[in-house]
């Protein structure tokens, strides 16, 4: 069974939602990435999404764009991202690790090579933002052969037929993009998200994670109530960006803790 699945089953037994923070590899500096990942786990991350820097992140808002630019200025690309993931695995074998990125870097180093490398780094899942199911059948097949989950996005405009199609190719979990827009955009409408998540669940038994607009603990709490996982990206990346160098880890710790407490309090009653 995949680590992602095991994690979701454990959380389900405990009646909890998962906290999935996102950071970009190599931001603010490659030597910080593993320590940041450890900090996320120590303070409640159930899984980690690690962003692969890309020069043209067209689905990302300004915060994650800038993180990508900083990482690229540090010369961190797809290969270093995988290396950093491997370093993280030296001391953490349990926490599911998901790579999130765009198709071009993966194709540039070669799909087979990419899959080989991430298998060695014990990566559990991949989100390729600009690979819709129609264009990624071969890729998904190859990931599945290596027991790596392929995670797909669903959007507020995804129609039922398409939810079915995507659910058939997806594994690990489904990632519901909670708003029309890019990462880090405006606040989300919980009622609408709740309806959508329930609708998705009609077509799939996979856990549903919600992300793209969760910016504070209150929102995290309400999202946790209606879904299986809360993805927090721009808010954490922003914290990293805004923090003075020697406060990055303590600030991220505080932020993740507060998110975790909010999420854990959601289904308690």
Q: Which residues bind other proteins (CB under 8 A)?
A: 53-59, 61-62, 65, 69, 72, 77-79, 102-109, 129-132, 134-135, 152-155, 157-159, 162, 166, 177, 180-182, 185
Distances (CA, A) of 13 to 148, 193, 224, 231: 24, 23, 15, 20
Find out whether 232 and 211 touch, Cβ atoms under 8 Å.
Answer: yes
**Residue 236 contacts by C-beta under 8 Å, 6 or more apart in sequence?**
21, 22, 23, 40, 252, 255, 256
Task: Compare residues 7 and 183 and give the one whose CB is closer to other proteins.
Answer: 183
Task: Compare residues 71 and 259 and give the one whose CB is closer to other proteins.
Answer: 71
Report in angstroms how near the CB of residue 157 gets to other proteins at its nearest: 4
149 an active-site residue? Answer: no
Task: Compare residues 22 and 45 and give the one whose CB is closer to other proteins.
Answer: 22
Distances (CA, A) of 62 to 65, 120, 196: 5, 32, 26
Report in angstroms how near the CB of residue 59 gets to other proteins at its nearest: 4
80 an active-site residue? Answer: no
- Residue 220 to residue 258: CA distance in whole angstroms: 10
- 172-189: string of b/e by CB count within 10 Å (b at 16+)? bbbbbbbbebbbbbeebe
Task: Compare residues 44 and 77 and give the one whose CB is closer to other proteins.
Answer: 77
Task: Compare residues 68 and 266 and give the one whose CB is closer to other proteins.
Answer: 68
Question: From the candidates 32, 46, 49, 149, which is the catalytic residue?
Answer: 49
Report in angstroms how near the CB of residue 74 gets to other proteins at its nearest: 13
Find out whether 260 and 43 touch, Cβ atoms under 8 Å.
Answer: yes
SS (H, E, C) 210-251: EECCCCCHHHHHHHHHHCCEEEECHHHHHHHHHCCHHHHHHH
Report in angstroms how near the CB of residue 96 gets to other proteins at its nearest: 22
2 three-state secondary structure: coil
Report in angstroms how near the CB of residue 182 gets to other proteins at its nearest: 5
The residues assigned a catalytic role are 49, 60
């Amino acid at each position: 069974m995949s680590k992602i699945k095991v994690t979701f089953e454990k959380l389900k037994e405990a009646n909890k939602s998962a906290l999935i923070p996102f950071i970009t590899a190599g931001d603010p500096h490659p030597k910080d990435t593993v320590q940041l990942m450890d900090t996320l786990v120590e303070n409640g991350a159930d899984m980690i999404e690690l962003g692969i820097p890309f020069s043209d992140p067209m689905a990302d808002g300004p915060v994650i764009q800038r993180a990508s630019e900083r990482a690229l200025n540090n010369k961190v690309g797809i290969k270093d991202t995988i290396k950093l993931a491997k370093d993280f695995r030296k001391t953490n074998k349990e926490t599911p690790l998901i790579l999130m990125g765009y198709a071009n870097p993966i194709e540039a180093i070669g799909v087979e090579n990419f899959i080989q490398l991430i298998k060695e780094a014990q990566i559990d899942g991949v989100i390729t933002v600009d690979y819709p199911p129609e264009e990624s059948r071969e890729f998904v097949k190859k990931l599945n052969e290596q027991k790596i989950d392929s995670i797909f996005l669903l959007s507020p405009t995804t129609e039922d037929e398409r939810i079915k199609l995507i659910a058939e190719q997806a594994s690990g979990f489904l990632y519901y993009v909670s708003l029309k827009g890019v990462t880090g955009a405006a606040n989300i409408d919980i009622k609408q998200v709740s309806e959508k998540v329930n609708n998705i669940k009609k077509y799939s038994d996979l856990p549903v994670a919600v992300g793209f607009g969760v910016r504070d603990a209150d929102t995290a709490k309400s999202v946790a109530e209606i879904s299986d996982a809360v993805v927090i990206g721009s808010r954490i990346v922003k914290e990293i960006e805004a923090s003075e160098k020697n406060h990055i880890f303590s600030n991220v710790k505080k932020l993740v803790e507060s998110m975790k407490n909010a999420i854990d309090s959601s289904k308690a009653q």
